[in-house]
């Protein structure tokens, strides 16, 4: 038993029982570092190399973790297998959507079958209109030829390896 | 129905129903059912919004398929597809 300032060692806390005097956080790191100033030259060097080593290790671990979080390993992804009832449910849903889509499309189709053309009243006038001028025709021919040439020259230029070896020195 | 002579440089004509059946034909396109099927597949291969997006208007008034010496002019009128084969006589635009 003691007051706030009591230096009396409490026996209860030694048993590992949790009370108001037990540390909330254990502090092993500070213990490690506190050794350094009090130790001699040799010990200092030795312990600093140990610290350095563990630092290096943790840095390496950090890099490894960062890399792991940046990689999507497709092979390791577990594929989601569908339950039977889920599968049936989806089939029903997709069929329903397809059906509404088809009916919408049919409705549009039946209204004006050749959607490319509109119905005009005087066909003869349109049909007997003067044909395209030779200048316009040659413009269309040359520009479409240019487009075809340009398209044929489009290609993918690969600059880097597609597969990058990773993590292997 | 129009006939040869009413349209300048006409050498044949074909009238198809909306489902592609031949209603009338004449000249070089007389009973050209296979040709009619080709025209139908040409008309159904795309629609106007894909060729000319952003325009809310109706379809095109006519489609011309032009070769070096002849051309086909296609238009839709009174729910029939009219195809006329014409000699292609290119003209130069009038320069003012």
What digits encode the pLDDT tens for the residues A11-58?
444 555 666 666 655 544 444 444 444 444 454 555 566 678 888 999
* pLDDT tens column, B15-37: 999 888 999 999 999 999 999 99
8 Å CB contact between B63 and A117: yes
Residue B94 lies in a domain: no
Whether A123 and B82 lie within 8 Å, measured CB to CB: yes
Instruction: Give the structural domain span for B15.
Output: 10-87
A105 to chain B, any CB pair closer than 8 A? The answer is no
Given this model, what pLDDT does residue A83 score? Answer: 79
| Beta-strand runs (E) in B32-94 | 62-66, 70-77, 80-87
- Residues B81, B72: Cα–Cα separation, whole Å: 12
For residue B3, tell me if it sits in a domain.
no
- The H or E element spanning position B27 is strand B22-27
What pLDDT score was predicted for residue A1?
47
**8 A C-beta contact, residue B57 and residue A151:** no
Work out whether the CA dihedral B12, B16, B20, B26 comes out positive or negative.
negative
Round to whole Å and give the CA distance between B10 and B68.
15
Confidence of residue A112 (pLDDT cuts 50, 70, 90): very low
Q: Can you list the residues of chain B whose pLDDT is less than 70?
A: 1-5, 53-57, 92-96
Nearest alpha carbon to residue B90 among A153, A82, A34, A140: A140
Query: In chain A, whose CA is at the least distance from the CA of B3?
Result: A124
A64, two tokens:
């490894």
At A19 the pLDDT is: 64
Residue with tokens 């009916």: A103
Q: What is the number of other CB atoms lying within 10 angstroms of the CB of residue B76?
A: 26
Q: Would you tell me how many other CB atoms lie within 10 Å of the CB of residue B16? A: 25
Kindly state whether residue B96 falls inside one of the protein's structural domains: no
Residue B45: CATH number of its domain: 3.30.450.30
Residue A116: what pLDDT? 81
Report the C-alpha gap between B83 and B12 in whole angstroms: 8
Mean pLDDT of A60-73: 87
Cβ–Cβ < 8 Å for A145, A138: no
Question: pLDDT digits over A93-103, tens only?
Answer: 999 999 888 87
> Chain B residues with CB inside 8 Å of A113's CB?
18-19
Nearest CB to A133 within list B62, B74, B92: B92
Please report whether residue B4 resides in a domain: no
In angstroms, what separates the C-alpha of A103 from chain B's closest C-alpha?
18
> Per the structure, how many domains does chain B have?
1
The minimal CB distance from B58 to the residues A118, A130, A133 is found for A118
């Amino acid at each position: 038993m003691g007051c706030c300032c009591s230096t009396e060692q409490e026996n209860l806390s030694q048993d590992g029982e949790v009370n108001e005097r037990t540390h909330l956080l254990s502090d092993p790191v500070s213990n490690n570092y506190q050794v350094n100033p009090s130790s001699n030259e040799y010990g200092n060097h030795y312990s600093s190399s140990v610290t350095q080593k563990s630092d290096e290790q943790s840095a390496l671990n950090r890099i490894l973790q960062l890399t792991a979080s940046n990689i999507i390993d497709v092979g390791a992804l577990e594929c989601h297998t569908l339950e039977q009832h889920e599968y049936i449910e989806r089939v029903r849903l997709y069929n329903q959507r397809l059906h509404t889509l088809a009916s919408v499309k049919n409705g549009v189709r039946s209204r004006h079958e050749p959607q490319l053309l509109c119905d005009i009243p005087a066909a003869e006038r349109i049909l007997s209109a003067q044909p395209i001028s030779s200048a316009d025709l040659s413009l269309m021919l040359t520009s479409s030829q240019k487009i075809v040439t340009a398209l044929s020259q489009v290609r993918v230029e690969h600059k880097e390896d597609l597969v990058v070896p990773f993590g292997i020195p | 129905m129009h006939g040869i002579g009413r349209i300048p440089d006409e050498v044949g004509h074909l009238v198809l129903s909306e489902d592609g059946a031949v209603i009338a034909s004449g000249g070089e396109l007389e009973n050209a059912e296979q040709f009619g099927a080709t025209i139908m597949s040409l008309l159904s291969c795309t629609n106007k919004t894909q060729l000319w997006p952003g325009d809310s208007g109706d379809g095109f008034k006519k489609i011309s398929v032009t070769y070096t010496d002849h051309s086909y002019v296609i238009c839709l009128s009174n729910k029939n597809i009219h195809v006329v084969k014409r000699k292609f006589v290119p003209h130069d635009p009038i320069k003012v």
